[in-house]
Chains A and B, each alone.
Chain A
Amino acid sequence: MMDKKSPLLEVIGLNIEFHDHLVPETVVYDFDLTLNEGEIVGIVGESGSGKSMTALAIAGLLSRHDMEKKGQILYEGMDLLSCPRAQLRKLQGKEIGMVFQEPMTSLNPVKKIGWQVEESLRLHTQIPKEERKETALSLLKSVELTEAEKVYKMYPHELSGGMRQRAMLAAAIICEPKLLIADEPTTALDVTIQAQIVKLLKKINEQKKTAILFISHDLSLVSRLCERVIVMQGGYIVETGSSEEIFENPKEEYTKKLIAAIPKCVRK
């Protein structure tokens, strides 16, 4: 029913170029992406393929002066690359949330978990303190953290990696953003926790209709979670298509290699 509406996020011809050496160095070439509301799209590729750079650019976190960005990043029709900083800041946290790779460094070591989860609410709304706490607690529960009350008062060093990543997730979605960027959220975690986090992302997507841009080098995870996949190599898009298409019937040599690299469990 909402098919006629313009997509939530549209990236057209994005180029990212570094100027910190004598010769400009391009890390992302002509990146295109459309993401509709409530959709999950995955970006896969090896290290250095430019997938994280793309994510940071979409999140508006690449604002270094030695870097040039060409193209358009349209969020609900507004170009994030050319809009003023203040307007971008209004979107950040409220409309766009992000989870990082390293749960060890993505939480501030001197602030309590509760404080950090509430930060977006504090910045974007005028909700009174008690309500903020209630919202934070209910979110901590919804990301399946047991003993939310206790976690609320804890410092990051008191939590395990998986718990921290859950807390991060809670902080990212507390304002109910329409877009969640997950930059390798499971890479630093062990396999069982990985599966739980992926399940959690799926749950968030289903319940809140949050669109997710999932970035990973792990094809099997991406195939489980995403409807559409973009394969990147060396800054270029190699192949795009629906998850099934790519996995059943890969066209490019690189994609075939990536799929062949997934370890298989052979039962005797």
Chain B
Amino acid sequence: MSMKKKKNYNLIAGGILTGTMLLLIMIGIFYTPYDPNAMDPAAKFAGVSLAHPMGCDNFGRDVFSRVLQGSRTTLFVALCTVTIGTVFGIALGAVTGYYGGILDEILMRINDAVFAFPSLLLALVFISILGPGRNNVIAALGIAFVPSFARIVRGEFLKYRNMDYVKSAKLQGAGDWRIMFVHILPNAMPVLLSAIIIGFNNAVLAEAGMSYLGIGVQPPEASLGRMLSEAQSYLFTAPAYAIFPGAVIIWMVLGFSLLSEGIGAESEK
């Protein structure tokens, strides 16, 4: 790549975008200008002003406060989803990739079957069984995310399991688990890290999409997708209500994408 001496702008830009987002969310935990759920009938559809930097919604709630709380919810869901996906994905991918054989054949065919459904559709099925709500969304998306991680990890393990250093670790007397998670896994980390961040992206979008459809986070709890779906009815009377939550979703996704690109380029050096 031509990235040799050039600065890794993707990494820098992604870091700044994601960093400021995280900072805002962190501040939002301790302080929001208004109570996100406090209604003020007088401020209904208030425009952008110093008192309400992002205006107010149809109940007169401060959009800025709700965006802070909503992005926290969205990110929390994404974090849990990706964690579930990664943990189970690594376990599944490591075992199938390292041992191979009939176990690999069975597990990967199940994996393929799950993978064949679009993840959002799969999550919808789970939700219709479990019922809507934040924790159920996490569980549903988490399960839907496992197959892609399992595939990536399995591919890496297949690549490394016959390397000489794995043989030599075996010969030093290391057990299978130690070889899998201490000797091989760190080698798969660069690829996995990119995948995790892309996974964040997909999770943010999936959560927003599900909340938009009304099956994700339930009111009055704020979530970016939920806000978008509520703002839809007032798109022309109060455009600010739709623009700001939408912009924050773009901000998050762009930040994660750039970060992932940047990390990918960094590990190729």
Contact = CB atoms under 8 A, between A and B. Distances in A.
Contact of B173 (A93, A101, A102): A93
Contact of A98 (B168, B178, B187): B168
A203 interface: no
B175 interface: yes
Contacts of A107: 165, 168
11 contacts: A61-B170, A89-B175, A92-B170, A97-B171, A108-B169, A109-B165, A109-B187, A111-B186, A119-B169, A123-B174, A171-B172
Nearest to A61: B167
A110 B187 contact: yes
Contact of A123 (B163, B164, B167, B172): B172
A14 interface: no
B177 to A, nearest CB: 12
Contacts of B168: 98, 100, 106-107, 168, 171-172
Q: Tell which of B165, B174, B187 has the most Cβ of chain A within 10 Å.
A: B165
A208 interface: no
A92 B165 contact: no
Q: Nearest 10 A-B pairs (CB), nearest first?
A: A93-B173, A93-B172, A106-B164, A108-B165, A105-B164, A92-B173, A120-B172, A110-B186, A123-B173, A100-B164
B173 A61 contact: no
B44 interface: no
Given A100-B164, A102-B164, A108 B171 contact: no
Interface residues of B, number: 18
A214 B224 CA distance: 67
Contacts of B178: 123
Nearest to B163: A105
Interface in A67-103: 89-94, 96-98, 100-102
Interface in B61-93: none
A163 interface: no
B180 to A, nearest CB: 13
Interface string B150-172: 00000000000001110111111
Given A65-B101, A108-B183, A110-B186, A93 B171 contact: yes
Interface of B: 101, 163-165, 167-175, 178, 183, 186-187, 189
Nearest to A174: B172
A120 B173 contact: yes
Contact of A96 (B171, B174, B189): B171
B174 A98 contact: no
A59 B175 CA distance: 15
A89 to B, nearest CB: 5
Interface in A119-175: 119-120, 123-124, 168, 171-172
Contacts of B171: 59-61, 92-93, 96-98
Contacts of B183: 108, 111
Interface in A9-62: 59-61
Nearest to B174: A123
Contacts of A97: 171
A108 B187 contact: yes
Given A92-B170, A105-B163, A116-B165, 19 more contacts: A60-B171, A61-B170, A89-B175, A90-B173, A96-B171, A98-B168, A100-B167, A102-B164, A105-B165, A108-B165, A108-B169, A108-B187, A109-B187, A110-B186, A110-B189, A119-B169, A120-B173, A123-B174, A124-B173
A94 B173 contact: yes
Contacts of B189: 110
A123 B172 CA distance: 8
Contacts of B164: 100-102, 105-106
Interface string A179-211: 000000000000000000000000000000000
A105 B168 CA distance: 10
A197 B183 CA distance: 27
Contacts of A116: 165
B246 to A, nearest CB: 41
B211 to A, nearest CB: 39
A97 B178 CA distance: 18
B263 to A, nearest CB: 15
Contacts of B169: 108, 119
A24 B182 CA distance: 36
Contacts of A111: 183, 186
Contacts of A119: 169, 172, 174
A23 B51 CA distance: 83
A96 B170 CA distance: 11
B174 to A, nearest CB: 6
Contacts of A101: 164
